[in-house]
Amino acid sequence: MSKYADIATILRDEIARGAYGAEGKLPTEQECVKRFEVSRQTVRQAISCLRHEGLIRQVQGSGTYVSLPTKARGASDSKTIVTISTYISNYIFPDIIRGMERELSREGFNINLIQTENRVDKERAVLEKVIRDGNIAGMIAEGTKTALPNPNISLYRKIKEMGIPLVFLHCTYPELSGEVVVGMDDFQGGKALAKYLAGKGHKAIGGIFKSDDRQGLARYAGFSEGLLESDLGLDDTRVSWYTTEDYRKHHKIIEAKHEVFDNLCGLTAIVCYNDEIAVWISRICKASSRTIPEIASFDASQFSLLLDKPFVSIGHCKESLGKTAARKIIRMIGGEPEESVLMDWDTSALQ
Provide the pLDDT for residue 335.
Answer: 82
Give CA–CA dist 107/336, Å, rounded: 16
Per-residue pLDDT, averaged over 56-80, amounts to 65
> 341 Cβ partners below 8 Å, 6+ apart?
181, 182, 183, 324
Q: How many helices (H) and strands (E) does the chain have?
A: 12, 13
| 34-50 pLDDT, tens digit each | 999 999 989 998 888 88
Q: How does pLDDT run across 126-135, given as a tens digit for each residue? A: 999 988 887 8
Q: Do domains 3-66 and 75-184+319-344 have the same CATH topology?
A: no
The pLDDT-based confidence of 68 (bands split at 50, 70, 90) is low
CATH domain 75-184+319-344 topology: Rossmann fold (3.40.50)
Q: What is the pLDDT of residue 74?
A: 40
Q: pTM of the prediction?
A: 0.77
pLDDT at 122: 94
Does residue 288 surpass a pLDDT of 50? yes
- Does position 318 have pLDDT exceeding 90, yes or no? yes
Percent of the chain at pLDDT > 90 equals 54
The whole-number pLDDT of residue 16 equals 80
For residue 294, the SS3 value is strand
Average pLDDT, the chain: 87
Question: What's domain 3-66's architecture?
Answer: Orthogonal Bundle (1.10)
Following CA atoms 305, 306, 307, 311 in sequence, which dihedral angle do they give, to the nearest 10 degrees? -50
Asked if residue 252 has pLDDT above 70, the reply is no
The answer on pLDDT for 273 being more than 50 is: yes
Categorize the per-residue pLDDT at 65 as very low, low, confident or very high, splitting at 50, 70 and 90. confident
Q: Sorting pLDDT into bands at 50, 70 and 90, what band is 57?
A: confident
Arithmetic mean of pLDDT, 52-65: 78
Predicted confidence at residue 251, as pLDDT, reads 53
Q: What is the dihedral of CA 253, 256, 258, 264, to 10 degrees?
A: 100
Burial class (CB in 10 A: 0-12, 13-18, 19+), 337: exposed
What pLDDT, on a 0 to 100 scale, did the predictor assign at position 266?
82
- Cβ 166 vs Cβ 201: under 8 Å: no
The structural domains of the chain, with segments of one domain joined by +, span 3-66, 75-184+319-344, 186-315
Helix (H) or strand (E) holding 209: strand 205-210
Q: What CATH number is given for 186-315 in this structure?
A: 3.40.50.2300
Question: Which DSSP string do the residues of 334-351 spell out, in sequence order?
Answer: TT-----EEEPPB-GGG-
The torsion angles phi and psi of 173, rounded to 5 degrees, stand at -95, 145
Q: Would you say how long the chain is, in residues? A: 351
Residues 6+ apart with CB under 8 A from 250: none
